[in-house]
């Protein structure tokens, strides 16, 4: 397949996937919250001898259909074309004219552009498709963490296993480096978490961060972890401090997942050069 055509197709495919990622970002935390609440209510009812709660109404990634949160009008396929629909509707609901968040086209555009960049860098093949799976997962985790301060196991754990499987035949690194990377990635943040907690009595990060760094270690190997952590730490410190200063709340919490994801994406495109620099 000619390179230019593949890049263009990858961009269009990325836009479509980005539209789906918006659904996952919005719904997955709510699906998990509903399940946790239902399990808790069932457990309490069982312990107290009460009637178990009634089954939850279906709420999945595909049902019910997407609708405007203001007026409840269902979004038609014509109004759900990535980027184009947002521009044609001037960023407003077709029915009630309520503003649509600019984040929807942002996620679509970001996914499309990164898909095109992957196609340009890796060409047509397994490496490109695996890279896109990685990037789509990182985009999803980034925005879920920004919204809910949550990195769901439903994404981080499959991402970890996928990285190990991809490196069975030396996708980005050898299998031994990938396994060590997963163990070291988890262990580094786990150790930092407990040192911080013992020193301050507070939790500095969540277990989802451990699992995400373990997944990135599985994809890129232990050698990639030092520059990846430097990128994540520096950008997280600068942006986090700026945000807390702007809000005049220096004790507030910030999500670390987006900065780990940024480090992972930078490593995907420039990992070899970064590793050579620090080695």
What pLDDT, in 10s, does the model give residues 56-66?
A: 778 888 888 88
* pTM listed for this prediction: 0.92
**Residue 254, CA distances (Å) to 28, 34, 47, 212, 259 in order:** 20, 24, 37, 16, 10
Higher pLDDT, 180 or 245: 180
pLDDT (tens digit, 9 = 90+) per residue, 231-269?
A: 998 998 888 778 777 776 655 678 899 999 999 999 999
Q: Could you tell me if 217 and 225 are in contact, meaning their C-beta atoms sit under 8 angstroms apart?
A: yes
* Predicted pLDDT of residue 69: 80
pLDDT of residue 201: 83
pLDDT at residue number 273:
76
Residue 229 CB coordination number (10 Å): 20
Q: What pLDDT was estimated at residue 271?
A: 80
Strand partners, 67: 74
Q: Would you state the pLDDT for residue 251?
A: 59
pLDDT band at 68 (very low <50, low <70, confident <90, very high): confident
Q: Indicate the average pLDDT of the chain.
A: 89
How far, rounded to the nearest angstrom, does the alpha carbon of residue 179 sit from its chain's CA centroid?
22
Euclidean distance between CA atoms 84 and 100, whole angstroms: 13
Mean per-residue pLDDT, 73-84: 85
**Confidence class for position 2, pLDDT limits 50, 70, 90:** low
């Amino acid at each position: 397949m000619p390179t230019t055509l593949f890049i263009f197709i990858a961009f269009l495919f990325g836009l479509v996937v980005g539209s789906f990622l918006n659904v996952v970002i919005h719904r997955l935390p709510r699906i998990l919250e509903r399940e946790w609440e239902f399990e808790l209510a069932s457990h309490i009812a069982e312990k107290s001898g009460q009637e178990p709660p009634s089954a939850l109404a279906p709420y999945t990634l595909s049902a019910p259909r997407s609708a405007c949160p203001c007026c409840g009008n269902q979004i038609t396929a014509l109004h759900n074309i990535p980027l184009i629909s947002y521009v044609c509707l001037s960023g407003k609901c077709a029915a009630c004219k309520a503003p649509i968040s600019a984040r929807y086209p942002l996620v679509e555009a970001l996914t499309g552009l990164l898909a095109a960049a992957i196609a340009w860098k890796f060409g047509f093949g397994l490496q490109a498709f695996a890279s896109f799976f990685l990037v789509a997962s990182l985009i999803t985790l980034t925005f879920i963490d920004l919204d809910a301060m949550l990195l769901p196991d439903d994404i981080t754990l499959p991402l970890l296993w996928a990285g190990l499987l991809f490196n069975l035949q030396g996708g980005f690194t050898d299998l031994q480096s990938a396994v060590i990377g997963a163990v070291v990635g988890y262990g580094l943040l786990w150790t930092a978490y407990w040192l911080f907690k013992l020193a301050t009595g507070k939790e500095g990060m969540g277990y989802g961060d451990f699992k995400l760094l373990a997944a990135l270690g599985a994809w890129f190997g232990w050698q990639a972890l030092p520059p990846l952590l430097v990128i994540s730490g520096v950008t997280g410190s600068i942006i986090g401090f700026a945000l807390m200063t702007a809000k005049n709340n220096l004790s507030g919490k910030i999500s670390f997942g987006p900065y780990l994801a940024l480090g992972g994406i930078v490593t995907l495109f420039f990992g070899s050069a970064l590793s050579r620099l620090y080695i």
